[in-house]
């Protein structure tokens, strides 16, 4: 297995792109990544996407996007793992390049969610949960997370407002990210008076959906050519699953797939949580930020909110998270999110994150979650000295 | 890259399985494959599926199926490439095992298509084509293939009835396949009087959809343990793409992605078409059988039907195809089809194909196509002496 480096990144803003089709969005990010990498072609494409079938009436995205970006003929495939599709696409591309099956890969995450009526989009998102045992009972995806958050508040004695720092930090960082969906800072008062979505989750606990695409170029580290960027290697990649239905778990407040994938990733990289300079986690809801911090070894079980309250999740803290806005403020175009996370890790490691730059960032971790913890993919990236 | 062997196969019948959910179907095939391999666990699952989102309201199939078959926690992902999803899932699993990223993989193809109204299924199938430039004009998937077949008849001077041998052979072979959807032989008279679907494609040119699942167990060849089966290795795996819309191609009668993937596969295996003992091709429509034979080097351009008319595609002929019924008679549960093809190649190489056994079969090829030639995956398998 060869070492693999990320030599190019691209992304669109996350917005309601009613003027751009799925292929145009994907193409904008892919061509930006190729340009950033100073390459014109790749051996294979890995497309992370969840909802193009039900929302855009388009499958076979691999062939379509390869052709659109001028790579007709190249091997291409779509990877789906619900909201973890982007991270899973990166992992598939990484295995292909590190194995020698390919000498370069373009990983694209793309999702177009705002052309359809909201009820249709909500129903489509529920396909990340168990159709027979969750969605069929009328549970939406936010309702499942609300049940988890309610249980967490009960079990560990936190108040809803204790989660405010996660959302405030995400919004504060997104101010410096021109690609973010929401670039406005919020206050604790804003958080506390936000309208309720599914109790106890209010509007400022929840990430906004959107249309967007992000892309990466992977090559073997032995094939690097000078292109003006620091060398950034993928030093760990690991994935694990859990039951798809939350009620099937021994402990609904413990993300065992996140714990397992993080444990494997730390072992591959030969480091522990203390060596991670920042952590792009999957804060689709504020409760998921707490659960991810705990499962990944940054906080004791039930103590995730403490990191927020102590200010440790801010760029200058001990465990900076959502440094470019996270899902909460950068936005959550579901199948694309995992690729946005990696683009943002690369921005930090290149030192171009502006006002939300993590000082001296050398090692970044990203964790992408499909469903309510059912599929989790963790990557660790490192900038060469 | 390590050599990889297939040590277990499993499959359900293809039918209208109204009594079995998607997870039960997938589990039946997966557990049969594990049992056949005499293994109890694998490192990773690769699920080939196209339509679970729009037809079954279920995504995140990887986590769901892993849990259902007793492998909760194992890495798992869904791979989509329209009707080529099964072949693409095998290729992803193969790369993971051959690279050393995993030491074993379960590849499952699954599709459940008959619980929804036919118009909904037809609309979902059209997502394999170009949503903006084909489906939006009212073209269904069969209509696109009908345009191609009409052009082929015009260009090369064949009559519709010249395609009859492909369908007759497929049905004759399916009589010996207990898992086939259609196990009745048909005559040339049946073919000629079949009702029209989209001129010139009639009912006996077209493959039937259905519910079904097939599964494979992959391990490194170095890790083989005696399990009562001959050793069967994957000696080539290659994928390529073409434009998704047929009108975008220089020649709509030439499957360039099939030609490219077959060419790469021959090079990997160090053989040519003459060394292939049988060919499980993607006969979703009889015209596709002809085009695949041509693109893969078994017939000259425009001469595919001649192989049928000369009897060369029958089990005792020079290029046996659809030896277990093919898509035409075994059935076409779209995202599962590519895995059924490989299961059937293994059956031939194990010598258990009964009345449609290819005498002395040692090397078999399978070609899985997503869309009208947009994504093509070719595999070559070889039985050890």
* Residue B348 contacts A where some CB pair is shorter than 8 Å: no
Instruction: Give the Cα separation of A345 and A368 in Å (integer).
Output: 13
Question: Strand A4-11 to strand A232-241: parallel, antiparallel, or no bridges (unpaired)?
Answer: antiparallel
* Cβ neighbourhood burial of A133 (10 Å; 0-12, 13-18, 19+): middle
Q: Measured between beta carbons, which residues in chain A are less than 8 angstroms from residue B76?
A: 81, 239, 241, 375
Burial state string for B172-195 with b = 16 or more CB within 10 A and e = fewer than 16: bbbbbbebbbbbeebeeebbeebe
Say if residue B168 is exposed, middle or buried (CB neighbours under 10 Å; 0-12, 13-18, 19+): buried
Least Cα distance to A8 among A32, A28, A41, A36 occurs for A36
Rounded CA separation B321/B330 (Å): 12
DSSP A12: P
Answer whether A377's CB lies under 8 Å from A228's CB. no
Instruction: Determine contact: A56 vs chain B, CB below 8 A.
Output: yes
What CATH class does B4-117+209-223 carry?
Answer: alpha beta
CA distance A139 to chain B (A): 13
Q: B96 vs A95: CB contact, 8 Å cut-off?
A: yes
Confidence at residue B268, expressed as pLDDT on a 0 to 100 scale: 98
Angle formed at CA B39 by CA B37 and CA B43, multiple of 5 degrees: 110
**What is the separation, in whole angstroms, between the first and last Cα of chain B?**
22
Phi, psi torsion values for B111, nearest 5 degrees: -155, 140
For helices B286-295 and B164-174, what crossing angle results, to 10°?
Answer: 100
Query: Does B195 contact A at CB distance below 8 Å?
Result: no
A111 in B contact zone (CB under 8 Å): no
* Cβ atoms of residues B55 and B146 within 8 Å: no
Residue A73, CA distances (Å) to A62, A79, B258, B293 in order: 10, 18, 10, 19
**Chain B residues closer than 8 Å to A20 by CB:** none
CB contact under 8 A, B77 and A131: no
CA neighbours closer than 13 Å in the CB half-sphere of residue A340: 36
Give the model's pLDDT for residue A1: 87
Would the CB atoms of B73 and A257 count as touching at under 8 Å? yes
Question: Which segment of A224-228, B247-251, B311-315 scores lowest on mean pLDDT?
Answer: A224-228
Under a CB-based contact definition with an 8 Å cutoff, are residues B35 and B10 in contact?
yes
Q: Is A83 labeled as catalytic in the residue annotation? A: yes
Which pLDDT does position B226 carry in this prediction? 87
Q: What is the mean pLDDT of residues B205-220?
A: 98
- The two counts, helices (H) then strands (E), for chain A are 13, 11
Cβ distance of A80 and B96 shorter than 8 Å: no
Which residue does chain B place closest to A43, by CA atoms?
A: B240
With a CB cutoff of 8 Å and minimum separation 6, the contacts of A301 are A253, A254, A294
SS3 at position A148 = helix
Count the Cβ atoms, other than its own, within 10 Å of residue A249. Answer: 18
What is the rounded distance in angstroms from the CA atom of residue A199 to the CA atom of residue A215? 35
Q: Is B135 at the interface with chain A, CB within 8 A? A: yes
Can you count the helices (H) and strands (E) in chain B?
13, 11
Round to the nearest angstrom and report the end-to-end CA distance of chain A: 22
Give residue A321's pLDDT: 98
In the DSSP assignment, the letter for residue A39 is -
3-state secondary structure of B13: coil
Task: Please tell me if residue B88 touches chain A, with a CB cutoff of 8 Å.
Answer: yes
Q: Which chain B positions have a beta carbon within 8 Å of A57's beta carbon?
A: 123, 126-127, 131, 135
Residue-level pLDDT, tens digit, chain A, 385 residues: 899 999 999 999 999 999 999 999 999 999 999 999 999 999 999 999 999 999 999 999 999 999 999 999 999 999 999 999 999 999 999 999 999 999 999 999 999 999 999 999 999 999 999 999 999 999 999 999 999 999 999 999 999 999 999 999 999 999 999 999 999 999 999 999 999 999 999 999 999 999 999 999 999 999 888 888 999 999 999 999 999 999 999 999 999 999 999 999 999 999 999 999 999 999 999 999 999 999 999 999 999 999 999 999 999 999 999 999 999 999 999 999 999 999 999 999 999 999 999 999 999 999 999 999 999 999 999 999 7
How confident is the model at residue A95, as a pLDDT? 98
Task: Decide if A127 and B57 are in contact by the 8 Å CB cutoff.
Answer: yes
> Any CB–CB contact under 8 A between A369 and chain B?
no
Record: contact A126-B57, CB cut-off 8 A: yes
* Interstrand relation of A105-111 and A212-220 (parallel, antiparallel or unpaired): antiparallel
DSSP label at residue B322: S
Chain A residues touching B82 at Cβ < 8 A:
59-60
In whole angstroms, give the CA distance from residue B177 to residue A69: 43
Catalytic positions of B are 83, 332
Task: Read off the pLDDT band of B225 (50, 70, 90).
Answer: confident
Site from B42, B244, B261 to mutate, A interface, most A CB atoms within 10 angstroms:
B244
The DSSP code for A322 is S
Q: What are residue B280's DSSP bridge partners?
A: B366
Alpha carbon distance A102, A87 (integer Å)? 19
Look at A67 and B132 and tell me if their CB atoms are within 8 Å: no
At residue A312, the 3 state secondary structure works out as coil
Q: How far is A328 from chain B (nearest CA, A)?
A: 22
Distance, CA of B370 to CA of B51 (rounded, Å): 13
Closest-CA distance of chain B to residue A108, Å: 14
Helix or strand run (H / E) with residue A47? strand A44-48
Residue B227 has pLDDT above 90, yes or no: no
Please indicate if any CB of chain A lies within 8 Å of the CB of B130: yes
**Nearest 5°: phi and psi at B80?**
-130, 130
In terms of Cβ atoms closer than 10 Å to its own Cβ (0-12, 13-18, 19+), residue B157 is exposed
pLDDT of residue A287: 98
Question: What is the Rg, in whole angstroms, of the alpha carbon atoms belonging to chain B?
Answer: 19
A268 CB neighbour count, 10 Å cutoff: 16
Q: Are A298 and A307 in contact (CB under 8 A)?
A: yes
Q: How many CB pairs under 8 A join A and B?
A: 203
Place of tokens 């989209």: B198
Q: Which of B1, B47, B50, B77 to mutate to test the interface with A (most CBs of A within 10 A)?
A: B77
**What is the Cβ-side half-sphere exposure of residue A72, based on CA atoms within 13 angstroms?**
15
Q: How far is CA A263 from the centre of its chain?
A: 18
ipTM of this model?
A: 0.97
Q: Give chain A's radius of gyration (CA, Å).
A: 19
Q: How far is the alpha carbon of B147 from chain A, nearest alpha carbon, in Å?
A: 20
Total number of residues shown for chain A: 385
CA distance B244 to B283: 18
Question: Tokens 């793309």 belong to which residue?
Answer: A110
Does B223 have pLDDT greater than 90?
A: no
Interface test with B, best of A80, A139, A140 (most B CBs within 10 A): A80
Q: For residue A175, with 0-12 CB atoms within 10 Å meaning exposed, 13-18 middle and 19 or more buried, which class applies?
A: middle
A169, burial (CB in 10 Å: exposed 0-12, middle 13-18, buried 19+): buried
Q: Which residue has the tokens 């939006």?
A: B136
Helix axes A22-37, A61-68, angle to 10 degrees: 60
Percentage of chain B exceeding pLDDT 90: 98
Catalytic residue, candidates A171, A229, A282, A332: A332
Interface test with A, best of B19, B42, B45, B60 (most A CBs within 10 A): B60
Contacts of B52 in chain A (CB under 8 A): 127
- Which phi-psi region, left, alpha or beta, contains residue B119 (left: φ > 0; alpha: ψ -120 to 50)? alpha
């Amino acid at each position: 297995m060869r070492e693999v480096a990320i030599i190019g990144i691209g992304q669109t803003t996350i917005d309601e792109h009613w003027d751009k089709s799925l292929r145009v969005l994907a193409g904008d990010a892919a061509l930006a990544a190729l340009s950033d990498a100073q390459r014109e072609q790749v051996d294979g494409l890995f497309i992370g996407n969840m909802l193009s079938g039900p929302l855009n009436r388009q499958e076979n995205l691999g062939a379509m996007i390869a052709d659109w970006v001028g790579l007709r003929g190249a091997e291409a495939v779509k990877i789906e793992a619900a909201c973890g599709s982007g991270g899973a696409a990166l992992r598939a591309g990484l295995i292909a390049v590190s194995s020698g099956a390919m000498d370069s890969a373009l990983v694209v995450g793309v999702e177009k969610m705002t052309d359809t009526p909201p009820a249709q989009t909500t129903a489509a998102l529920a396909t990340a949960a168990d159709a027979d045992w969750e969605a069929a009972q009328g549970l939406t995806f936010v309702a499942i997370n609300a049940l988890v958050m309610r249980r967490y508040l009960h079990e560990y004695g936190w108040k809803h407002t204790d989660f405010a720092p996660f959302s405030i930090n995400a919004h504060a960082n997104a101010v410096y990210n021109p690609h973010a969906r929401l670039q406005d800072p919020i206050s604790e008062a804003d958080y506390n008076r936000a309208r309720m979505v599914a109790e106890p989750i209010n509007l400022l606990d929840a990430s906004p959906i959107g249309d967007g695409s992000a892309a990466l170029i992977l090559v073997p580290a032995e094939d690097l050519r000078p292109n003006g960027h620091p060398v950034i290697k993928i030093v760990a990649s690991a994935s694990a699953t859990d039951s798809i239905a939350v009620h099937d778990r021994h402990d609904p407040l413990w993300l065992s797939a996140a714990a397992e994938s993080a444990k494997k990733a730390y072992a591959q990289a030969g480091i522990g949580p203390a060596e991670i300079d920042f952590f792009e986690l999957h804060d689709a809801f504020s409760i998921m930020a707490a659960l991810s911090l705990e499962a990944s070894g940054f906080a004791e079980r039930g103590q995730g909110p403490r990191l927020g309250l102590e200010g440790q999740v801010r760029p200058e803290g001990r465990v900076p998270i959502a440094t470019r806005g996270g899902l909460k403020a950068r936005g959550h175009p579901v199948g694309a999110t995992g690729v946005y996370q990696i683009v943002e890790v690369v921005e930090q490691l290149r030192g171009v994150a502006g006002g939300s730059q993590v000082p001296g960032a050398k090692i970044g971790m990203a964790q992408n979650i499909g469903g309510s913890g059912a599929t989790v993919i963790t990557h660790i990236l490192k900038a060469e000295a």
